[in-house]
Amino acid sequence: MKNKTRNDIILAGILLLLAAAGFLLFTMLKSEGDIAAVIIDGKEVSRYPLDAELKTVITTESGVNTLVIKDGVVYISEADCPDGICVDHAPIKHVGETIVCLPHKLVIKIESKKTEMSLDAAA
Amino acid sequence: MKKVLLLFLITCVLTSCSKSPEKFTNYYFDYFDTVTTVTGYADSKDSFDEVCGEIETMLKDYHQLYTIYNRYDGINNLYTVNTTDGAVEVDERIIDLLEYAKEVYAMTGGKTNVAMGSVLSIWHDHRTIGSNHPEKATLPPMERLVKAADHTDIEKIIIDRENSTVELADSEMSIDVGALAKGYATEMVAKWLEDNGYTGYILNVGGNVRTVGAKADGEKWTVGLENPDATGEDDAYIEYLSLAGETVVTSGSYQRYYIVDGKQYHHIIDPETLMPSENFRSVSVICDNSALGDALSTALFCMTYEDGMALVESLDGVEAMWLSNIGEVKYSNGFDKYRQ
């Protein structure tokens, strides 16, 4: 009888611990904000939090693009690429969204470690 | 007994953590004049990169075989076929593509025609000049287009599978597989993944999206259908799809175009009018074969909604969404099951 109670307490303790760990992990992940990853020729070169406010020039082998983060959205304000498609692209902010500058082999991608719905591709 | 149960529980928790595969993404910029994204689950970056190495080799091979703009040393590609009189010995993958192109031609009533090279090259030249030098942008003269259209008979692409040759029986005709090649290559890569037991991959070759299985956790992939007239970040997508094993391909007037006298002229040319089709802003096709999806989205773009709907409903496992020029969205009957 005594033994049984002790085991119950151990089990309850472990469950509590697991729950606490789960809760901690959950809040840790949740508090980690979305970021904009800068990927040149397939290699991530930098990342910025979306709650930042900044304007920075990204230099690639083929040319430069000006990245702007403002009010939680990301866009390219200027670029010296021939087509200017990256500049015309609407601002992005949702996880999985990308802006691509093909001539410069540049991808700006919104990433997150949160478990909310995110985009895997766009067509 | 309880101890055993507890041990079992703890073991489960621990192993499930250490064994769950991670998600990786690689990008490629050198194929099919677009960006290719490969996302998949693997136990390590190294094993993912190994799979991607195979994928990149395939993309490169298909790109070099199917391009009409470049020659490559030691390869007879479609550029070679277009610029050679008489039969050209080609790789089996060119024979496969062209035979499929003839199937698709029949299926779409000629709306997807890879023998339109003579017409499309005139548009291509004008679009290239007009994009690079907006002040010099002009439309192709209609009489030139009409003359070129006399040389678009797909039956004059003579395929000899036994001898692995292709010949153009009309010296003024040329092949342009732009409506099909990207999707065909995507499908071949996806098939290779499936045949080799890989699952949990999503390929995106410039908007030609093909899923291979579901994600590692069994969830379906989320694919957004772009809103060409997005005003900001909140209306960037018209629709969110849930896919696992299917493909979705969009043809849109917003993807490639140039401007003449303030008007946009895009790249999807109707074989009948020889002008960019103005029926829709975009058409998206969901099915299980990316080559078919690519070809059908082009064909549907050049058809009326009624004709397109009839074609879609006549085909098994094909669904479509039409976005009109005024923003109206229409769906085929079974489209709803893919919507989130």
Interchain contact A3–B (C-beta under 8 A): no
Residue B200 φ/ψ region, left for φ over 0, alpha for ψ in the -120 to 50 degree band, beta for the rest: left
Position B39, amino acid: T
The count of CB pairs under 8 A between chains A and B is 89
Residues of B (8-27) whose Cβ lies below 8 Å from A: 10, 13, 26-27
Cross-chain residue pair B233–A93, CB shorter than 8 Å: yes
Whether the per-residue pLDDT at B169 is higher than 50: the answer is yes
Q: pLDDT tens across B130-146, in order?
A: 998 999 999 999 999 99
Which pLDDT score, from 0 to 100, does residue A58 have? Answer: 93
Interchain contact A14–B (C-beta under 8 A): yes
What value, to the nearest 5°, has the Cα angle with vertex B32 and ends A105 and B184?
140
ipTM at complex level: 0.72
Domain boundaries defined on chain B: 20-54+197-338, 78-168
Q: pLDDT tens across B8-57, in order?
A: 555 555 555 556 889 999 999 999 999 999 999 999 999 999 999 999 99
Which pLDDT score, from 0 to 100, does residue B232 have? Answer: 67
Interchain contact B338–A (C-beta under 8 A): no
Q: What is the separation of C-alpha B86 from the centre of its chain, rounded to a whole number of angstroms?
A: 30
Q: Which residues, in sequence order, are CB contacts of A30 under 8 Å at separation 6+?
A: A114
Q: pLDDT tens across A70-85, in order?
A: 988 999 999 999 989 9
Cross-chain residue pair B34–A107, CB shorter than 8 Å: no
Tell me which residue has tokens 């291509």: B124
Cross-chain residue pair B232–A39, CB shorter than 8 Å: no
Are A40 and A105 contacting, i.e. CB atoms less than 8 angstroms apart? yes
Which pLDDT score, from 0 to 100, does residue A25 have? Answer: 60
Are B265 and B127 contacting, i.e. CB atoms less than 8 angstroms apart? yes
Distance, in Å, from the CA atom of B235 to the CA atom of A18, rounded to the nearest integer, reads 41
Are B169 and B156 contacting, i.e. CB atoms less than 8 angstroms apart? yes
Position A90, amino acid: A
Mean pLDDT of B107-117: 97
Which pLDDT score, from 0 to 100, does residue B2 have? Answer: 60
Interchain contact B29–A (C-beta under 8 A): yes
Which pLDDT score, from 0 to 100, does residue B230 have? Answer: 79
Distance, in Å, from the CA atom of B79 to the CA atom of B99, rounded to the nearest integer, reads 17
Whether the per-residue pLDDT at A48 is higher than 50: the answer is yes
Which positions in chain A touch B210 (Cβ < 8 Å)?
none
Cross-chain residue pair A118–B222, CB shorter than 8 Å: yes
Whether the per-residue pLDDT at B73 is higher than 80: the answer is yes
Distance from CA of B305 to the nearest CA of A (A): 20
Mean pLDDT of B266-274: 96
Lowest average pLDDT, out of A21-35, B23-37, B92-106, B277-291, goes to A21-35
Interchain contact A119–B (C-beta under 8 A): yes
pLDDT-based confidence at residue A47 (cuts at 50, 70, 90): confident
3-class state of residue A98 by DSSP? strand
Cross-chain residue pair B230–A94, CB shorter than 8 Å: no
Closest residue in A to B7 (Cα–Cα) = A11
Mean pLDDT of B261-274: 95
Average pLDDT, chain B: 93
CB burial of residue B44 (10 Å; 0-12, 13-18, 19+): exposed
**Distance of CA A57 to CAs A46, A63, A101, Å?**
12, 10, 14
Whether the per-residue pLDDT at B79 is higher than 80: the answer is yes
> Against a cut of 0.90, is the pTM above it?
no
pLDDT > 90: percent of chain B = 86
pLDDT > 90: percent of chain A = 38
Closest residue in B to A109 (Cα–Cα) = B25
Distance, in Å, from the CA atom of A43 to the CA atom of A38, rounded to the nearest integer, reads 8
Cross-chain residue pair A122–B221, CB shorter than 8 Å: no
Cross-chain residue pair A11–B226, CB shorter than 8 Å: no
Distance from CA of A120 to the nearest CA of B (A): 5
Query: According to the 3-state scheme, what is the secondary structure of B279-295?
Result: CCCEEEEEECCHHHHHH
Nearest neighbour of A123 by CB, restricted to B27, B29, B284:
B284
Q: Encoding tokens for residue B150?
A: 């006399």
Per-residue DSSP letters for B201-252? EEEEETTEEEEES--TTSPPEEEEEE-TT--SGGGSEEEEEEESS-EEEEEE
pLDDT-based confidence at residue A23 (cuts at 50, 70, 90): low
Pick the CATH number of B78-168 from 3.40.190.10, 1.50.10.10, 1.20.1510.10, 1.10.3980.10: 1.10.3980.10
Interchain contact A121–B (C-beta under 8 A): yes
Whether the per-residue pLDDT at B147 is higher than 50: the answer is yes
What value, to the nearest 5°, has the Cα angle with vertex B21 and ends B19 and B24?
155
Are B321 and B308 contacting, i.e. CB atoms less than 8 angstroms apart? no
Q: Which CATH class is domain B20-54+197-338?
A: alpha beta
Which pLDDT score, from 0 to 100, does residue B6 have? Answer: 60
Q: Residue A17: how many CB atoms within 10 A of its CB?
A: 10
Which positions in chain A touch B26 (Cβ < 8 Å)?
42
Whether the per-residue pLDDT at B5 is higher than 70: the answer is no
Lowest average pLDDT, out of A99-103, A117-121, B332-336, goes to A117-121
Cross-chain residue pair A121–B28, CB shorter than 8 Å: no
Which pLDDT score, from 0 to 100, does residue B302 have? Answer: 97
Q: What is the separation of C-alpha B331 from the centre of its chain, rounded to a whole number of angstroms?
A: 20
Q: Which of B208, B217, B222 best tests the A interface by mutation, with the highest count of A CBs <10 A?
A: B222
Q: pLDDT tens across B199-242, in order?
A: 999 999 998 999 999 999 999 999 999 888 877 667 788 999 99
